Every structure is written in C-alpha cells, then in structure tokens.
C-alpha cells in the first residue's frame, strides 16, 4: 500500500538513496535536510521529491517542519531517522560543542522527530520507524566518543519505542551501516580508508543502495512481525 514517508537527511548520501527507493516503491516521499540548499535543489530536480529544510536537532523546528510536510502530503506513516553528522576528536581534545552537536543531531533528533509523528501513528494503528545507527555505535571507534555514544543510544531508543508501539501496529527498527561510500566517508583520509576496506570481508565499501534496500524491507506492510531489531549492513566487518 502507498504510504506517506519522511526521510531526514534525505537529499544526499544514504538518505537520498532511501528516498528514491521509497518513491520507486510507490510511496509519497518527503526529504528533510539542514542547510545545503544547492544539493537539495539538485535532488528535487532529479528525483521530483520535495525537500524541506530544518534542523532535526531543534525540537521546535521539527514540530514546524513536520506540520508543513503533513499539510502538503498527509500524516506520516513511515519515518526514517537518517540525518547524522560526525565531529571527530579524541576525548582530550573534544569540545563541549562537538559533543552536543553530535548527540543532538544523531540521537536527540530521533526523539524530536518521533515525538511529532507518534500520536497520529497510534491513532491510525500503523507506523514504520527506522533509525539509522552505525557500526561505530556497536563496536566503538577511536576519536568518536560522541558519535559512538549517540549511535549506541539509537539502538536502546529503538528497542524501548518498539515495545511501546507493538500493540498499536507501529514497528521500530534500526539499521547499523558499516562504511558506506558517501560524502561522510569521503572525508576520511585515503590512507585510513584503505585500512578500513582491508578489514571488510566483502572487500568493498557499502553503497547507499545497500542501506536503502534494507529500509524498504523493514517498512513493508507485511514486515509487521519485525520490531526492535537492529540489522547490520556492513559487508561482514562487525558481526554483532
């Protein structure tokens, strides 16, 4: 059945692939992004999917942004919490801003977004929520205390909300991608990246499409018995 879907961070990288896949499956899709208006315009032109700019770390902005999407497309039945950032530094060099930005953007955003859609999902007796975690939330990573903590938090968030939603037809799952070839990973120095790829049994970086196909599987109407799960999509790099 065609549903209304919202993808945060949906204009670039993994989010873009998710938005495109959901649209190809017949859903009515909206994409959120932060501030790269040029990328969002290109995305809208190339995909025909509307893009909405707001900061997912800001609760009031999520309230206003989602109200606009609902007015344009209808109540949100599928929510993909994908927006995320890194601000890497070892603990002895990490600023309080670097901690807060990462935790607010990657984790608090899940609360900000879910809080806005949960009532209508409960009333309608249907909802699909997918939160994008990370291999580094499962395994930890040098220089990423902030990011690993936020992504690890997503996995607990997912399991708790899954318990609350189960009786109301709402499933809540997480995906833990390994290293995926997007702008985020292109920022990693080539020598470091080479070492990372050497540790991936499948022998390549992930593709945004690898994550998008997993989202599609989880949001299907008949995926209603899958909830509270984390699916690792990492080429065998970390078996959790």
Does 142 participate in catalysis according to the annotation? no
Rounded to a whole number of angstroms, the minimum distance from the CB of residue 63 to ligand NDP is 14
Helices (H), the chain: 13-24, 37-47, 59-73, 96-103, 109-124, 135-139, 145-165, 183-186, 190-198, 208-219
Q: In sequence order, which residues have a C-beta less than 8 Å from that of residue 150 and are 6 or more positions away?
A: 102, 103, 105, 106, 107, 137
| Residue 11 to residue 177: CA distance in whole angstroms | 18
In the complex, least distance from residue 132 CB atom to ligand NDP, rounded to whole angstroms? 4
DSSP annotation of 182: S
Give least dist CB 26 to ligand NDP, A.
23
From the list 75, 80, 82, 163, the residue with the least C-alpha distance to 126 is: 75
Q: How far apart are the first and last CA of the chain?
A: 33
Give 83 or 121: the residue with its C-beta nearer to ligand NDP: 83
Interface residues with ligand NDP (CB under 6 A)?
8-9, 11-15, 32-36, 39, 55-57, 82-85, 105, 132, 134-135, 177, 179-180, 182-185
Closest distance of CB 36 from ligand NDP, Å? 3
Q: In whole angstroms, how close is the CB of 16 to ligand NDP at the nearest point?
A: 7
Closer by beta carbon to ligand NDP, 97 or else 222:
97
Nearer to ligand NDP, 126 or 146 (CB): 146
166 vs 193 by CB, closer to ligand NDP = 193
Q: How many CB atoms lie within 10 A of CB 45?
A: 8
- Which entry of 33, 52, 142, 147 is annotated as an active-site residue? 147
- 12 or 28, CB closer to ligand NDP? 12
Q: Which residues are catalytic?
A: 147
């Amino acid at each position: 059945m065609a549903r209304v879907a919202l993808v945060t961070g949906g204009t670039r990288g993994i989010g873009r692939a998710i938005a495109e896949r959901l649209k190809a499956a017949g859903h009515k899709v909206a994409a959120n992004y932060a501030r790269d208006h040029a990328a969002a315009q290109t995305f809208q032109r190339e995909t025909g999917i509307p893009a909405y700019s707001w900061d997912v770390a800001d609760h009031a902005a999520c309230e206003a942004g989602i109200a606009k999407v609902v007015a344009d497309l209808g109540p949100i039945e599928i929510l993909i919490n994908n927006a995320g950032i890194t601000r890497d530094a070892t603990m002895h060099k990490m600023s309080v801003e670097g901690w807060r930005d990462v935790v607010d953007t990657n984790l608090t955003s899940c609360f900000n977004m879910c809080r806005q859609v949960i009532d209508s999902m409960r009333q309608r007796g249907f909802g699909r929520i997918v939160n994008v975690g990370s291999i580094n939330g499962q395994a930890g990573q040098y220089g990423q205390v902030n990011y690993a903590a936020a992504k690890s938090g997503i996995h607990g968030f997912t399991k708790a909300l899954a318990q609350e939603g189960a009786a109301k037809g709402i499933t809540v799952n997480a995906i833990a991608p390994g290293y995926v070839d997007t702008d985020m990973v292109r920022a990693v120095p080539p020598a470091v990246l080479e070492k990372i790829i050497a540790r991936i049994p499948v022998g390549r970086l992930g593709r945004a499409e690898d994550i998008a196909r997993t989202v599609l599987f989880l949001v299907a109407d008949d995926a209603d018995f899958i909830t509270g799960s984390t699916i690792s999509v990492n080429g065998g790099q970390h078996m959790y």
